[in-house]
Amino acid sequence: MRAHSMMIGAFCLSGCMATTPSVQAPRDDGVAQRLALGASRAEADLAFGTEAGFERNPQNYDESCVSNAYGDGAAGPRYVHARFRGDALVARSDGHGAICTYGLLI
């Protein structure tokens, strides 16, 4: 009986592990490389166009993340994530499937 209970428990546990959600990793489309680190927010707006999203870091109000959409839209929009500290670009990446958020850390 005990062996039977252990087999049922293992089966249930393996089912849980098999259904973990997948996260789409960003691609390197080369869009983010249009702008050098240290660029201002105004320079980013000129390089990437109108922002699609903005979020301030809740643990450091000097830091924010700006998302800009790009692409033809056939496969859905792709986003550049540009992270600023003060008015200087400190990180950028592209190919994201959603706007940046500090809840999911860019």
The reported pTM is: 0.67
Task: Please compute Rg for the chain using Cα positions.
Answer: 20
The values of phi and psi at residue 96, to 5°, are -80, 150
Residue type at 89 in one-letter notation: L
Q: List pLDDT tens digits, range 26-80.
A: 566 778 888 899 999 999 988 888 788 999 999 999 999 999 988 776 777 889 9
Contacts of 67 (CB under 8 A, 6+ apart): 51, 52, 53, 54, 79, 80, 81, 82, 96, 99, 100
- What the chain holds in terms of domains, given with CATH numbers, is 29-106 (3.30.1450)
pLDDT of residue 27: 66
Confidence of residue 106 (pLDDT cuts 50, 70, 90): very low
pLDDT of residue 4: 46
pLDDT of residue 28: 66
